[in-house]
Amino acid sequence: MKHIILLVLLLAFYPALANNDKISELKTKLETTHDAEEKVFLLCELSKLYWNSSFSSSLKYGNQAQVLARELNNQKALALAYNNIGVAYDIYGNYSEAVSYYYKSLRIREAIGDTAGLSASYNNIAIAFASQNELEKSIELYNKSLEISRATHDTIGIALSLSNIGSIYQQKKDYGQAISYVLRALQLLDPNSSVSLISMNSAGFIYSEMGEWEKSLSYHHRALNLARKVGSKMDEVHALCGLAEAYMAAKQPEMALPYAHRNVELAQEINSKNEVKIAAELLNKLYTQIGDFKNAHKYLTLQKEYADSVQAAAVKMQLTELAFKHENEKAMQENLLLKAQTNLQQQMIERRNAAQVFTGAMLLLVGVLAVVFFLGRRRMHRLNDLLTQKNIDILEHSEALAAQKEQLALQANLLLEQKEELEKLNSVKDKLFSVIAHDLKGPLTSLQGLLQLISKGAVPQDKLGPFMASLEASQQNSLWLLDNLLLWSRVQMRGLAVKPEKTELALLVEQNLRLLEPQAKFKQLHFTCQIADAHTLYADKEMVNLVLRNLIGNAIKFSKKGGEIQITSERHGGCVTISVKDTGIGMAPEKLASLFSGGSNSSSKGTADERGSGLGLQLCQYFIERNSGSIWAESETGQGSTFFFRLPAMPSQEDANEVMEAEAVELV
């Protein structure tokens, strides 16, 4: 699907949707102008504006332009007319006709030295070859176009050729080469121009196929905002599709659904049947992934309807072409017959004094010719009817085979998804039992032994205080371990819903410091807290609370007696960065590098032999990223560690007013 979208984007560098106002303006000029040179270029422009909306109209104006260009002997206009007719055939899938007209245009442009036109012709021929999977030939032609654009210092032409070459490497699945060419194209383009939309969406699709969905989201978001700004609905459709695919690749179907729904709505709004089919297919996969088979079936049905519609449109276009050719042949035959009748009448006038027998013979010959012509036409109609019926039978058979293939593919995908889900649940179960057996059982056993000593009176009264503090710390650690364990298992099995709200950072830090005070006193630790009251977050309060509790608890766990823990916050733009710094034992570089690498984190004992599950940092990373933030750490062995995390800040009233003013201007 990504290759199809990319090919459309390459063609969409030229006007994608006919602008009714522009068309009306050009038609008015065409009717009023008496300048034949101006008229031929008006016809070419009208043919171009109808590329994506009406194949017959585009072909009509293109043919009128080529006839007038021949009469004027205007080779540049004739090459442009051939090129426009070729693009019309290309968009509607008749690649053989498209390439034929492209080469006609190319030969003229080579003869007259039209360098800019040569670059466009090479690009168009390359697109047609790419559509037929002739990738090496396509790259060769794009490189020719690139050389011409560089020689003429045509920056946009250079960027277009680079982006096109990138798309071919994407089809070859050479993603390193593909993203390299597309990023070079983006460097040459104004990031706020509509031309850069092609390369932005191309980069997004390539990163998505590379598995780097965060970069894919970034490029598709930029493309979406720019497409809405310049009013390019087709590019907006591609950006929405890319965002939905990226979130689906990131296993976040709930984030993908809004974009996928807007994608199908907009595709229906602009009446792009192929895009509706692709959007419906994407929604079908999303709902299948989340187990909503009712909606999955709904969009599978929509996809089938539009697939049938696209196929019917292609058949209709082919029949229209056949009818057009048949009418031309019929007109030629009628002209020949008319000429023959005219010559015959002239001969009869010149030889009216000839013998009546000769005249009768000529009349009889004309009658025989008429009968033969009539019988021939009737036989031609029968053959055409037979050919049409054969085409219908072949089409029905192809549709039945396609439906069976899709059904088998769907069943295979369902089985694969079920297998992956079972393997994931089995892994969660193994991890859960491992943590319970090794990490939760130990603290509870120690706690039981301590309670037994106290109950038997084996602990003197003067030493009971420290034992109780140790008991409280052990109990608190066990509760956190159990809390982390349960949260981790919920996240692994079905995820947690994010509920962002205004979150008072200073209040949460103060609550956690009070909660952790017994452990801190036990190690004689000193806290330094520099959290500004104005630093409020827009995030899920409970998730932020758990992150703070785990990071401060880890700082206590790995601090030596008499150490210091600093908690600070800074605001940069629309985000707040919070740091938790300790003067504890620190970490080796290899341990630091593996903290947030996506693998499983192992548990380490604290300075007072405290134990953990190794799940705390995994939960912190998961919750921070779900709230559109980031987390990282700095550490050195023996010098302590500093953990940072960044989250969106609650917008101030001034920020809110600016956003409202910007939205009001955009609506105007």
Residue 230 resides in a domain: no
Output 109 or 613, whichever has higher pLDDT: 109
Q: Which pLDDT score is estimated for 594?
A: 85
Tally of domains in the chain? 1
Proportion of the chain above pLDDT 90, given as a percent: 18
Joined tokens for residue 261:
């729904």
Residue 307 has pLDDT above 60, yes or no: yes
The average pLDDT across 467-492 equals 63
Confidence label for 135 from pLDDT (cuts 50, 70 and 90): confident
In a domain, 624, yes or no: yes
Assess whether pLDDT exceeds 90 at residue 328: no
**How many angstroms separate the CA atoms of 126 and 134, rounded?**
9
Angle at 581 between CA 579 and CA 584, to 5 degrees: 160
Highest mean pLDDT among 97-111, 297-311, 345-359: 97-111
Is residue 450 domain-resident? Answer: no
253 pLDDT band, cuts 50/70/90, is confident
pLDDT band at 536 (very low <50, low <70, confident <90, very high): very high
Q: State the DSSP string of 322-368.
A: HHHHHHHHHHHHHHHHHHHHHHHHHHHHHTTTS-HHHHHHHHHHHHH
619 closest CA partner among 458, 478, 531, 488: 488
Radius of gyration for the chain, computed over Cα atoms and rounded to the nearest angstrom:
37
* Packed helices 464-494 and 356-435: angle between N→C axes, nearest 10 degrees: 160
Q: Select from 241, 599, 253 the least CA-distant residue to 417.
A: 253
Whether 269 is covered by a domain: the verdict is no
- Mean pLDDT in the chain? 79
CB distance 428 to 420 below 8 Å: no
pLDDT at 331: 44
Q: Which residues of 640-659 are buried (b: 16+ CB within 10 A; e: fewer)?
A: bbbbbbbbbbbeeeeeeeee
Question: Which of 312-326, 365-379, 469-483, 524-538 has the least mean pLDDT?
Answer: 312-326
Which of 99-113, 342-356, 462-476, 529-543 has the weakest average pLDDT?
A: 462-476
What is the C-alpha to C-alpha distance for residues 48 and 68, in angstroms, rounded to an integer?
Answer: 16
Buried b (16+ CB within 10 A) or exposed e, 163-192: bbbbbbbbbeeebeebbbbbbbbbebbeee
What CATH number is given to the structural domain containing 618? 3.30.565.10
433, part of any domain: no
Cβ-proximal residues to 316 (8 Å cutoff; 6+ apart), any chain: none
Condensed to tens digits (0 to 9), the pLDDT of residues 580-631 reads 999 999 988 888 888 887 655 566 776 766 665 567 888 889 889 999 999 9
Average pLDDT over residues 354-360: 79
Mean pLDDT of 127-152: 83
CB 642 within 8 A of CB 583: no
* Residue 554: its H or E element: helix 541-557
Mean pLDDT confidence for 239-260: 88
Query: In this model, does residue 568 exceed pLDDT 90?
Result: yes
Contact assessment for residue 619 and residue 488, using Cβ atoms and an 8 Å cutoff: yes
Domain with 643, as residue range(s), is 501-599+612-648
> Is the pLDDT at 554 greater than 70, yes or no?
yes
pLDDT higher than threshold 80 for residue 125:
yes
Q: Which amino acid is residue 339, in one-letter code?
A: K
Asked whether residue 334 is assigned to any structural domain, the reply reads: no
The reply to whether 251 falls in a domain is no
Instruction: Kindly state the average pLDDT of the residues 214-220.
Output: 88
Using CA atoms, how far apart are residues 49 and 30, in angstroms rounded to an integer?
14
Quick check: is 639 in a domain? yes
SS3 assignment, position 178: helix
| CB of 476 closer than 8 Å to CB of 549 | no
